[in-house]
Structure 1
Amino acid sequence: MTHLALALSLVATLGLEAHAQETKPMAPSRSTAPSASDTLSARQQAIVPIAALAAAGDLTRLNPALNQGLDAGLTISDAREILVQLYAYAGFPRSLNALGELMKVLEARKQRGIQDAPGRAPSRPIPQGDALLAAGTANQTRLAGGPVAGPLFDFAPVANEYLRTHLFGDIFERDNLDWQSRELATVGMLSALPGAEPQLQSHMGISMNIGLTAAQLRQLTQVLATRVDEDMARRASEALDRHLATPASRK
């Protein structure tokens, strides 16, 4: 599909519109390279229940999900990044509670003699001030496939500024978790939030824009059904169906 068509599809879901201008295709990077397989790896699958259960505030079930994720190859840094990112979708209370649960899991595993891989820190400092806004705007444009604008952001421009600086800037500039993993987490989180269906559909499109396939996203819905919750799986499946039915998804 063209970048412009996808941008129009994504922002229309949110009641927005992209500037009517074509953007040049961007070369795949480490974060956005196409998937080599139409199936999710064990590590990728493990992200989904962690994200969904953390967003739902289900700490009892989050504990074993975190253990399973670490066993499947998530590093400490991976798990921590997912749960920090949660604040942008479910708020700081659930993010902080989930991080506290991760600390308990890591301590218990350490007591059992398990040495989990620490992972890595971001490879570069996060920009500040105007440079952060510029970086976040570039990330938002890349993820959506074109510049994002529209009546909602005309009405509340600070909302888009927060998206660009906090979500697409502070969070997505942290390259110690790749964008596909961040989007798998985002879809899992939004699936757990009734009423967030428009945003869930939008992120199905973003996920495909950065290289995840429809088959992998369908597998994500199956992971939700078998490991988390049927209602969450239904919301995710319906959001994927709606996205795939849009003209932009077929271009």
Structure 2
Amino acid sequence: MDLHQTDPEFMERFEAFALEEVVKEEGQQLAETTRHIAILAALLGCQGVEAFRLALPRALDAGVVPTAVKEVVYQAVDYLGIGRVLPFLNATNEVLKARGVELPLPGQATTTAEDRLEKGAAAQAEIFGEHMKDAWKAGHINRWLAANCFGDYYTRTGLDLAQREMITFCFLAAQGGCEPQLVSHARGNMNLGNDRAFLIRVVSQCLSYIGYPRSLNAISCINKAAEEAR
């Protein structure tokens, strides 16, 4: 159904805000590919699969490559669970196939079953500090976090480490209820060069897709992380 036909007044206001005013706001702009990647991650986080189907072609047209899109979706599994991500993976495959993209895409894994824990812990340490090298020893969930979340996904090519921390921030901000983790990953972003101003720009560009309450909560978490870093 074409909302421009059924809801023209709403669509006029929504698109003028989300696609024009927000995008062009002085001091809140992002590089086009970065903006689209953040929006895709935020839509995964808030479970906006229908909006994701609309946003994905725009992202591809703006220069986001299929490999980067797939990496966003794959990494979401560790923060949202396969129960919430599977519809997005199916939607991604449908959109890519319709555009003539040959699937599967080339593999991006850089770890093996033997070294995923070691390399995952190293990625955690690079993001959060040297104290994370042995954090996996605290229990089996911590070991899974290092080996699976970081070893299986963060070590993949297709997105760099700073981009991966940015999309994690978007997953957490958009789903809500994850404020302790959001503060931690805001700090992780800052450690990788995604500073306070950058993260606020990310929230600003995602606001139309996740709403004001979660956006304001995310900014509070950013400010808390920045204060703790002083």
Coarse TM-score class (shorter-chain normalised): 0.7 to 0.9
More relative contact order in 1 or in 2 (CA 8 Å, sep 6+)?
Answer: 1
Match of 2:52 among 57, 62, 67: 62
Which secondary structure state, in structure 2, belongs to the residue aligned with residue 86 of structure 1?
Answer: helix
Match of 1:51 among 41, 53, 62: 41
Gaps of 5+ in 1: 1-37
Structure-1 separation of matches of 2:199 and 2:105: 26
In the TM superposition, what is the alpha-carbon distance from 1:149 to its structure 2 partner? 8.2
In the TM superposition, what is the alpha-carbon distance from 1:192 to its structure 2 partner? 1.7
Which secondary structure state, in structure 2, belongs to the residue aligned with residue 148 of structure 1?
Answer: helix
Alignment check: 8 A CA contact 1:120 1:176 kept: no
Q: Where has structure 1 moved over 4 Å in runs of 4 or more?
A: 149-153
User: How many pairs does the alignment contain?
Assistant: 202
Whether 1:82 aligns to 2:52 is no
Structure-2 separation of matches of 1:179 and 1:132: 16
Alignment check: 8 A CA contact 2:124 2:133 kept: no
Find the counterpart in structure 2 of residue 92 from structure 1: 82
Find the counterpart in structure 1 of residue 127 from structure 2: 143
Structure-1 separation of matches of 2:61 and 2:46: 22
In the TM superposition, what is the alpha-carbon distance from 1:42 to its structure 2 partner? 0.8
In the TM superposition, what is the alpha-carbon distance from 1:56 to its structure 2 partner? 2.0
AA at the equivalent of 1:52: A
Structure-2 separation of matches of 1:120 and 1:236: 35
108 and 183 in structure 1: CA distance in 2 versus 1, 3 angstrom threshold: same
Structure-2 separation of matches of 1:228 and 1:151: 32
Structure-1 separation of matches of 2:106 and 2:132: 32
AA at the equivalent of 1:229: G
Give the structure with the higher percent helix: 2
Alignment check: 8 A CA contact 1:224 1:230 kept: no
Find the counterpart in structure 2 of residue 127 from structure 1: 112
Whether 1:180 aligns to 2:170 is no
49 and 173 in structure 1: CA distance in 2 versus 1, 3 angstrom threshold: same
Which secondary structure state, in structure 2, belongs to the residue aligned with residue 84 of structure 1?
Answer: helix
Alignment check: 8 A CA contact 1:78 1:119 kept: no
Structure-2 separation of matches of 1:60 and 1:232: 20
Find the counterpart in structure 2 of residue 209 from structure 1: 191
AA at the equivalent of 2:194: L
214 and 190 in structure 1: CA distance in 2 versus 1, 3 angstrom threshold: same
Gaps of 5+ in 2: 1-27
Please report the RMSD computed on the Cα atoms of aligned residues, expressed in angstroms: 2.5
